[in-house]
Structure 1
Amino acid sequence: MKSYFKITFLLIVILSTKTFAQTFEAKIDSLIQTEFNEKHGPGGVFLIAKDGKPIYQKAFGKANVELDVDLTSESVFQIGSMTKQFTAVAVLMLEEQGKLNVNDSIAKYIADYPAGDKITIHHLLTHTSGIKDFTKMKTLRDIAQKEMTPKMMVDFFKNEPVDFSPGEKFDYNNSGYVVLGYIIELVSGETYEDFIKKHIFEKAGMSQSYYATDRQVISKRAYGYHKKEHGFVNKTVISFSVPFSSGSLMSSVGDMLKWQNALNKNLLLNAESTKKAFSKYKLNNGEEFTYGYGWHIKELNGTPSREHGGSVFGFKSMGVYIPSEDIYVVGFSNCDCHSPTQITRDIADLALKKYKK
């Protein structure tokens, strides 16, 4: 009789656990489908990981609308400004090698940069440099489809009037990260593309990550779309040499988990450098702001989080990491009509409630 009750109890526990898991999964599905609900249009891919392992991976919609090809959890997306994480880590890797210091002025590397003696690498990393963001310049359309070298890109905006003195305020800025990419090339003697591939992608085992290209055949590529009144259209074509190190990388959700795990295991940076990336910093007046090096340092309902999104023609991306619980959530969209930003944060909140100790 005892064994009967024991077996019955175990069955109840197993079924309850299974039901709870199904309920959690159903909640996530429902949340995503409020935005990603067009079966025959572009969609998105989402991943939730706990303790470095996926607990949820699903794809919604089409990778290619014309060919009626479904997205999968292995689809490769342009990640836009999530690229900045990789640029920041590359800078810190070079600092560890003694090839630069984040407190160096950029004049040390780009001698003719206007007022470059007052702008530091730290200012560029934290969006506090005050230099003009090239994405806000009307003349951007003149170069959007041209093949630009990093020097040409820096020359494009360097003589624009500054918005404020270095360190005076935080103002999200793509130009700063383009300058960082140029400095990475000058200091390392490698192209930005080669540096990221060799020292980050290969080291972390990120075999589905690339410097973006429309020419190379990329396995499982997701194609980008815009939505117009009459329906979906293919994304606007730009030269990836323009966003460069501020927004020109491609990846899959699985590879982004490998990236997060590599950071957690100090595979790419030592603990001291990693702490620099994830610290909050202060303006000249002592006011603290919520950006480290390549990540927004925020909170999710009172729990510290690290976040960053991205947006580039035809694509949007978002990643949220909760260090205390080792929860990572990443979401990609292949239409800039669908934003994964709030959904990814909401999923992270649900996962936090489920797993918080």
Structure 2
Amino acid sequence: MKENLLMLLLIVILGSCRQKSSVNTQNQYSDSLNNNIIIGKGLGKRIDSLLQKEIVKGFSGSVFVSIKDSVILQKGYGWADSLKTTLIKPSTKFYLASTTKGITGVLTLIAQQKETLNTTDHLSMFYENCPKEFGNLSIHEMLIHTSGLSSEYETYGAINRKDNVELVYKKPLGTKGEFNYSSAGYWLTGAIIEKLSETTYEEFAHKNLFEIAKMKNTDFWFEANEGDKNLFAQKLKKFPPDDLKPNWGYRASGGITTNILDLKHYFQVLTSHQILNKESLGHLFGPHITLKSGIGVGYGWYTTTTPRGTKEVWSRGGESFGHNSAIRWFVDEGVAILILTSCGEIERNREANRTVSDKIEKLIFTAPKSQSN
């Protein structure tokens, strides 16, 4: 009798599960609970079709697209390994490369909101033996690349913070006030965050950003389990062994690893003022200066005007080993395109995040309004 009752209960439970699954398939999105795949009807399917064709051209990566807070697409494409045995999923991890700089900008402004530092503070306030010519460099100038710091430093062997700072001092400054893209300003800003918070850059990021944004799969290059192709997208070439150790060649300017699910969480909490207040978010995006090209410079973020006359805010990065990423937010139109790739350049000597996101943008904004959902 008990066995019959248990069997009856099991049948009811299974029937209930099937009914719920049937209901889900009627929703706006096709959603695989195992792989976190979302493909919206209409526009989502057309973007998916576009990206399937990009695989043939060598594309491998994860993509997230939303329009006015509605998820249109969330999916992985191509292969995580060169032998093509493991498909990329939304859970697959990639290196953010210089998109990390935008995160360092966020962490700096979090520290400013906590009154730990101010972006107008100068380097001499933090280091007693700071050379005179470096002493008047502000955090703000370092973050917008106008401090005069060089674009090239040999810091990949600098394990501790003191060695990193002293290596930067050894190279003469260029012209202050002129834009010169440099990772060194972000290394120094990361060093300041460490010194004032009395913790590591990584610990500060985890506590003040990753945990709040529920970025459970985001960490740093020296923690990456790259041997697991089910977890991590393969590089096109390997790191030198010493580069895999914690060092200042990657800290604060690059080196963060994540997947598209966490990148989505980061973007959503950032743009909804859950991490930074409205004033701080304005400081993050800028623009603080505008280049001759029309690009506005923020703290690891940039602004441009689209051909449609609307505003785009973006952050992107690329590594020589093929991983590259981008966050593109078309503010006025409520569209976000997030992309992580591992295939390097695939078309016209341009990184995949650029070529593929450009095609997605074109498809979205040329689609008839009646087909946009």
- TM normalised by structure 2 equals 0.77
Q: Note if 1:326 corresponds to 2:326.
A: no
The verdict on how the C-alpha distance between 1:63 and 1:88 changes in structure 2, with shifts beyond 3 A counting, is same
Tell whether the 8 Å contact from 1:253 to 1:332 is kept in structure 2 after alignment: yes
Q: Distance in 2 between matches of 1:31 and 1:170?
A: 37
Q: Note if 1:62 corresponds to 2:74.
A: no
Read off the aligned partner of 2:193 and give its amino acid letter. Answer: I
The verdict on how the C-alpha distance between 1:345 and 1:150 changes in structure 2, with shifts beyond 3 A counting, is farther
Residue among 162, 169, 172 paired with 1:161 = 172
Q: Distance in 2 between matches of 1:221 and 1:296?
A: 30
Tell whether the 8 Å contact from 1:204 to 1:258 is kept in structure 2 after alignment: yes
Tell whether the 8 Å contact from 2:286 to 2:302 is kept in structure 1 after alignment: no
The verdict on how the C-alpha distance between 1:348 and 1:111 changes in structure 2, with shifts beyond 3 A counting, is farther
Tell whether the 8 Å contact from 2:86 to 2:230 is kept in structure 1 after alignment: no
Shift of 1:66: 4.3
Q: Note if 1:343 corresponds to 2:356.
A: yes
Unpaired segments ≥5 residues, structure 1: 1-13, 227-233
2:148: which partner in 1? Answer: 130
Q: Distance in 2 between matches of 1:185 and 1:113?
A: 17
2:189: which partner in 1? Answer: 180
Q: Distance in 1 between matches of 2:70 and 2:165?
A: 40
Shift of 1:214: 5.2
Shift of 1:50: 2.1
Read off the aligned partner of 2:361 and give its amino acid letter. Answer: A
The verdict on how the C-alpha distance between 1:292 and 1:33 changes in structure 2, with shifts beyond 3 A counting, is same
Residue among 256, 268, 277 paired with 1:261 = 268
Residue among 276, 282, 286 paired with 2:283 = 276
Q: Distance in 1 between matches of 2:70 and 2:129?
A: 47
1:7: which partner in 2? Answer: none
Read off the aligned partner of 1:322 and give its amino acid letter. Answer: F
Q: Distance in 2 between matches of 1:246 and 1:289?
A: 20
Q: Note if 1:294 corresponds to 2:300.
A: yes
SS at 1:329 equivalent: strand
Q: Distance in 1 between matches of 2:234 and 2:144?
A: 29
Read off the aligned partner of 2:148 and give its amino acid letter. Answer: G
Q: Distance in 2 between matches of 1:150 and 1:318?
A: 29
Tell whether the 8 Å contact from 1:42 to 1:61 is kept in structure 2 after alignment: yes
1:28: which partner in 2? Answer: 47
Read off the aligned partner of 1:124 and give its amino acid letter. Answer: M
Q: Distance in 1 between matches of 2:161 and 2:98?
A: 17
Tell whether the 8 Å contact from 1:282 to 1:288 is kept in structure 2 after alignment: no
Q: Distance in 1 between matches of 2:318 and 2:91?
A: 20
Q: Note if 1:149 corresponds to 2:156.
A: no
2:314: which partner in 1? Answer: 307
Residue among 121, 127, 131 paired with 1:104 = 121
Read off the aligned partner of 2:354 and give its amino acid letter. Answer: T
Q: Distance in 2 between matches of 1:151 and 1:282?
A: 31
Shift of 1:147: 6.2
Shift of 1:93: 0.9
Q: Distance in 2 between matches of 1:282 and 1:314?
A: 30
SS at 1:47 equivalent: strand
Tell whether the 8 Å contact from 1:36 to 1:44 is kept in structure 2 after alignment: no
State the percentage of identical aligned residues. 24
| Greater shift in the superposed pair: 208-217 or 124-133 | 208-217
Q: Distance in 2 between matches of 1:74 and 1:24?
A: 23
Q: 1:30-77: CA deviations, max 9, x gaps?
A: 543565326xx7711111012334211222211133471111012111
2:201: which partner in 1? Answer: 192
Q: Distance in 2 between matches of 1:53 and 1:74?
A: 20
Tell whether the 8 Å contact from 1:319 to 1:344 is kept in structure 2 after alignment: no
* Displaced runs of 4 or more, over 6 A: 285-288
The verdict on how the C-alpha distance between 1:201 and 1:352 changes in structure 2, with shifts beyond 3 A counting, is farther
Unpaired segments ≥5 residues, structure 2: 1-25, 31-39, 347-351
1:223: which partner in 2? Answer: 233
| Greater shift in the superposed pair: 304-313 or 58-67 | 58-67
Read off the aligned partner of 2:299 and give its amino acid letter. Answer: Y
Q: Note if 1:43 corresponds to 2:43.
A: no
Residue among 246, 249, 252 paired with 1:245 = 252
